[in-house]
């Protein structure tokens, strides 16, 4: 896996990730089909509380991306070729967790 920040000023915070399958994925285009948020019901409840807190006094939301982070949503990238999942792809390379499809469909339960 190779990760590198782009050097262009406008894309300074963008990330390019080379998947194990060889496909290059990035977050340059927005919206895109690569970036996903993994949100538990508990995180969704925290998100609603954070938004309610901010909306109460002002009636508007200014800190939307920050609320996702504060609520506990997890950033996940999905390779469109092999469907591997990269959890926390913008974190330190040694902290990125990679999942590969083990099986499609549930095993026979009988």
> Per-residue pLDDT tens for 31-83?
899 999 888 899 888 888 887 887 777 767 666 656 777 777 889 999 999 99
Among 44-48, 80-84, 95-99, 104-108, the range scoring the smallest mean pLDDT is: 44-48
Mean pLDDT of the chain: 81
Residue ranges of domains in the chain: 33-99
pLDDT greater than 70 at residue 6: no
Phi, psi of 64 (to 5 degrees): -55, -50
Residue 84: band (very low, low, confident or very high) from pLDDT cuts 50, 70, 90: very high
- Give DSSP secondary structure letters for the chain: -EEEE--SGGGTT-EEEE-TTS-EEES-SSS-SSEEEE--HHHHHHHHHHHHHHHHHHSS-S-HHHHHHHHT-EEEEE-TTT--EEESTTS-GGG-EEE----SSPPP--
């Amino acid at each position: 896996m190779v990760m590198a920040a782009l050097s262009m000023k406008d894309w300074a915070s963008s990330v390019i990730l080379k998947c194990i399958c060889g496909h290059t994925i990035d977050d340059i285009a927005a919206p895109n089909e690569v970036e996903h948020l993994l949100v538990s019901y508990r995180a969704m409840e925290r998100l609603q509380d954070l938004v309610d807190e901010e909306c109460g006094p002002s009636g508007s939301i200014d800190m939307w991306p920050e609320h996702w982070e504060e609520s506990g949503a997890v950033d996940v990238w999905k390779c469109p070729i092999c469907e591997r999942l990269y959890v926390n792809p913008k974190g330190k390379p040694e902290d990125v967790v990679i999942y590969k499809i083990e099986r499609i469909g549930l095993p026979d339960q009988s």
